[in-house]
Amino acid sequence: MSPKSTTTKSISRLVQPAVRKLTAYHIVEEPVRVKLDAMENPFPLPPDVRRDVAEAIERTLINRYPDPSAKELKKAIADFWGLDAERMILGNGSDELIQAVVLAFGGPVLIPVPTFAMYEITSRALSQAVATVPLRKDFSLDADLLIKKAKQVKAKVIFLACPNNPTGNRFADDAVRKVLESVNAAVVIDEAYFDFSGKSFLPFLDRHPNMIVLRTLSKIGLAGLRVGMLAAAPEVIEELNKIRLPYNINVLSQAAGIAVLKHRETLKAQISLLISERGRLYNALSRLQGITPFPSETNFILFRTNGSATRIFTMLKQQGILIKNLDRPGPLRNCLRVTVGAPEENNEFIGQMQGILATDSHG
């Protein structure tokens, strides 16, 4: 017997208004032949590394909870990047660490736009106010404007993706340092793309106790493991450890991460190849009629089209090539973002772009 309609009202109306207003982070889930939309490393692990991962997983006790502080994985990460394992916590992707920071500090959260969507989505999901300042036309950071806004709204957290997603540029050292020195807020320098720029603010951690640095293993070949890293002053780590979920890095991710990071040379060689492919892709895009790529210190390239972004995106998709369509009113009007793929994927992308633009110019 069905209950009366008065009792079958969905509980969704009880969800907090801040959450009801949100739009979910959009991820295309259809299978595609050439996937260049999500800044993943295109290379599968070589057979010797896969063997090590398989052996490590075979030894793993999945009936037991994981090491709550993931000590061995932390040490492997610290060795890989040359950091201090004592000053870090790990997260289920850096996405989880972004959430931890907002949970700990609260809002208002201040971000330059355009930037990585999760800063705003996570802050709003936690019912925190979000303030924004525009980047300049060339996507550089106007430090004075950001500082002024931080003071005006009394920002508690500022997120600076450095290099920035989706624009690909790294904000000037001086601008970031000026922000660090002038605000009374936690300044999160998100170095998700550090491995492709080689430049970091981490050496300045001692000088700037309000700085938090994020990195991730996702962009260098381990996106499926979901492991992110946060480095900060010990007292900040202590506070964040209070709100971090106890077993946030599962046993399989810990075991596989440790096994893969032992193959440092393999990972570094893949990163070097991607950096050189980025240069090749940038040059090829520059030569295309009506396309303007933006310089990139990441593993993706943002480019502007002459008004045909959505048409290009759709035609590429019909050919089985998925990139990211960012075309919307505002600073990303007519813009698309392509992740640097394996050499043959980049060749195919450029070949298809040439074909699409040729049909454009012939009417």
Ligand X SMILES: Cc1ncc(COP(=O)(O)O)c(C=O)c1O
The contact set with ligand X (CB under 6 A) reads 39, 93-95, 116, 161, 165, 190, 192, 216, 218, 223, 228
Closest CB to ligand X among residues 39, 202:
39
Q: Compute the least distance from the CB of residue 178 to ligand X, in Å.
A: 21
The residues with which 186 forms a beta bridge, in sequence order, are: 157
Q: Running DSSP on this structure, what letter comes out for residue 298?
A: S
The residues with which 109 forms a beta bridge, in sequence order, are: 130, 157
Give CA–CA dist 105/277, Å, rounded: 39
Contacts of 104 (CB under 8 A, 6+ apart): 239, 240, 242, 243
H or E element, residue 303: strand 300-304
Closest CB to ligand X among residues 162, 180:
162
Q: Compute the least distance from the CB of residue 162 to ligand X, in Å.
A: 9
Closest CB to ligand X among residues 93, 293:
93
Q: Compute the least distance from the CB of residue 8 to ligand X, in Å.
A: 37
Closest CB to ligand X among residues 162, 312:
162
Give CA–CA dist 268/82, Å, rounded: 14
Task: Give the burial class of 223: count Cβ atoms within 10 A of its Cβ; 0-12 exposed, 13-18 middle, 19 or more buried.
Answer: middle
Closest CB to ligand X among residues 129, 223:
223
Does residue 342 contact residue 44 with C-beta atoms inside 8 Å? Answer: no
Structural tokens at position 190: 């998100």
Q: Compute the least distance from the CB of residue 218 to ligand X, in Å.
A: 3
Tell me which residue of 150, 179, 156, 270 sits closest to 222, measured CA to CA. Answer: 270
Q: Compute the least distance from the CB of residue 95 to ligand X, in Å.
A: 4
Closest CB to ligand X among residues 155, 192:
192
Q: Compute the least distance from the CB of residue 14 to ligand X, in Å.
A: 29
Structural tokens at position 59: 């030894």
